A = this chain, B = another copy of it.
Amino acid sequence: MEELRLREREAGLVPEAFCIAPAAVAGGLSQDIDTPSLVLDLDAFEDNLRTMQVLAERHGVALRPHAKAHRCPEIALRQVALGAAGICCQKVAEAVPFVQAGLRDIHISNEIVGEPKLRLLAQLARKAHITVCVDHPVALKALSAAMAAHGASVGVLVDVDVGQKRCGVQTPDEAVALAGLAQSLPGVGFTGIQAYHGGLQHKRSLDQRRKSCDKAARLIRRYLDALERAGIACPVVTGGGTGTAVFDVASQVYTEIQSGTYAFMDTDYGSIDWGEALAFRHSLFLLGTVMSTPTADRAIMDFGLKSTSAESGAPQPVGWPGLRCVAVHDEHSILQADDAKNLPVLGDKIRLIPGHCDPTFNLHDSVVAVRGDRVEAIWAISARGLSR
C-alpha cells in the first residue's frame, strides 16, 4: 500500500503539498519581507487612530470607522479599543469575520436586496447589534419579513441622497414615509438617517469641501425637520468621511462619522488640500522589488493591478527622489527615473503609497504590521473578497 502510494506520488498522481512561505514572520526584519506585500507602519497608523478619535470626542460625535477601507478585524478591534462606537461594513458577508472577531455593533451602510443576503443578515443580527440602510419600501418590507421569519431584528437607517447621486431617497417626504413604515413593521426599527456624500471627500480645495459640507448639512436639516414635524424621533445621523471629517464633526447634524481611510491615507487623499485642518500620516505601503532594469532610466517592479488598484492613479514611491510610477500592468509596474543616478538596482525593495486604499487592501490576504525596522505582526484581511 505504502509502496503503491509512493509510486503514485512519483508519477504525479498524488498531489504534492508545496510550501508557499509567508511573506514575513513576526520578529523578522522589515527589509526581509517578500514582495509584493502590503505593509502597515504601526507608529503612523496608531497616530492616525488617535488623531481622529480625539477630533470626534472633542465635538461629542461618535466615531464609527468604516471597515470597508481595510476588511481587517485586527484593525477594527484597535479602533474600538481606542473609543470608536462600533464599525461600518458595506456588505453583509463583509461583516461576518468582524462579528466572529468579537465586534458587536456594526452598521451595514448599504441597501440589502436578495434572500440569501437577508438570511445571513438575520444570523448576524442574532449575535450583534446590526443596523442597515433602506431607500425603498419594497426592500424595507422584504427586510422586515426576513427578520421576522428568522426571529431577528435590525435597526433601519433611511439612506438620504445629499448630492452623491447614488443610492438614497430624493425627498424628505420619502424619508418620513419610510421611517413611518419602519416603525410599523416587525423585525425592524427606525434608528435614524444616513447621509453620506462620497464625492465631497476628494474635492481638492479645503474651502470647497467646507462649503459643500455646509450645503449638505442644510439639506440634512430639512430631513430632520420633516421627521420632527411627523413626530418621528431620529436618534442617529451617520455619514461623513476622511476628507470632510473636520467639518462633519462641527456640523451640528451628524451624531457619528464613518471615516475609514484616515487610518492609512493613499495618494488620492494625500493630494487634497488639508490646510491646518488635520494631519494624517501615510501608514499604508505597497512593498515591491525591482525585477528588471532594462535601460538607464527605467526600473520594472514585481507588482501590478493584482496587488494595487490603479483606477485612482498609480502608487508612488516614497524616499526615492526623481522616481515616479508611470504605468501599472497586470503584474508589472514601470518606474521612470528623471536621471540615471536616481535609478534603483535589481533587487532593491521600494515602498509605494497606493492610489486607493480600499480596493488595494481587498487584493491581499494579509497586511504586514511593522514598527521601524521590525515586523510586529501579520494580520489577516479576513473579509477580503467578501462582497456579497
Contact A113 B289 (CB under 8 A): yes
Known: A34-B388, A305-B311. A166 touches B334 (CB 8 A): yes
A347 contacts chain B at the CB level, 8 A cutoff: yes
Whole-angstrom CA separation of A156 from B309 in the bound complex: 31
Stretch at the interface among A272-280, A295-303, A368-376: A295-303
Task: Report if A231 contacts B (CB, 8 A).
Answer: no
Distance from A154 Cβ to chain B, minimum over Cβ atoms (Å): 16
B388–A298 touching, CB < 8 Å: no
User: How many residues of A are counted as interface, with CB atoms below 8 angstroms from the partner's CB atoms?
Assistant: 85
Contact (A306, B387) CB under 8 Å given A19-B123, A198-B329, A293-B136: yes
Say yes or no: B363 contacts A362, CB within 8 Å: yes
A365, CB-defined interface residue at 8 Å: yes
Contact, CB under 8 Å: B385 / A364: yes
Number of copies of this protein chain within its complex: 2
Instruction: Pick out which of these stretches binds chain B: A79-87, A95-103, A182-190, A242-250.
Output: A95-103
Alpha-carbon separation in the docked complex, A35 to B388 (Å): 6
Is A346 on the interface with B (CB-CB < 8 A)?
A: yes
* Interface residue? A317 (CB, 8 A): no
Interface centre among A100, A305, A347 (most CB of B within 10 A): A305
Contact status of A358 and B139, CB under 8 A, knowing A127-B12, A311-B310: no
Q: Which residues of chain A from 10 to 66 have any CB-CB distance to chain B below 8 Å in the complex?
A: 12, 15-21, 23, 34-36
As a 0/1 sequence over residues 104 to 134 of chain A, the CB contacts with chain B under 8 angstroms (1 = contact) are 1000001111101101100110010000000
Question: Once the chains bind, are A359 and B346 in contact (CB under 8 Å)?
Answer: no
Q: Identify which of B99, B111, B311, B329 contacts A292 (C-beta below 8 A).
A: B111
A359 proximity list for chain B (CB < 8 A): 305-306, 330
- Bound together, the chains give a CA A168 to CA B135 distance in angstroms of 54
Q: A93-B20, A346-B138 are in contact. Are A113 and B167 (CB under 8 A)?
A: no
Bound-state CA distance A331–B260 (Å) is 14
| Given A291-B167, A387-B303, A331 and B91 contact (CB-CB distance below 8 Å) | yes
CA distance A201 to B166 in the complex (A): 35
A-B contact pairs, 14 of them (CB 8 A): A12-B102, A16-B127, A17-B100, A20-B93, A20-B120, A68-B331, A91-B331, A113-B347, A139-B346, A166-B292, A303-B387, A305-B356, A305-B362, A306-B358
Given contacts A167-B294, A170-B294, A305-B356, 18 further A-B pairs with CB under 8 A are A15-B101, A15-B102, A16-B127, A18-B127, A20-B120, A20-B386, A20-B388, A35-B114, A111-B292, A112-B291, A113-B291, A113-B302, A165-B298, A166-B292, A169-B294, A305-B311, A305-B359, A307-B387
A interface residues (Cβ-Cβ under 8 A, vs B): 12, 15-21, 23, 34-36, 68, 90-91, 93, 96, 99-102, 104, 110-114, 116-117, 119-120, 123-124, 127, 135-136, 138-139, 159, 161, 165-170, 198, 289-295, 298, 300, 302-307, 309-311, 328-332, 334, 346-347, 356, 358-359, 362-365, 384-388
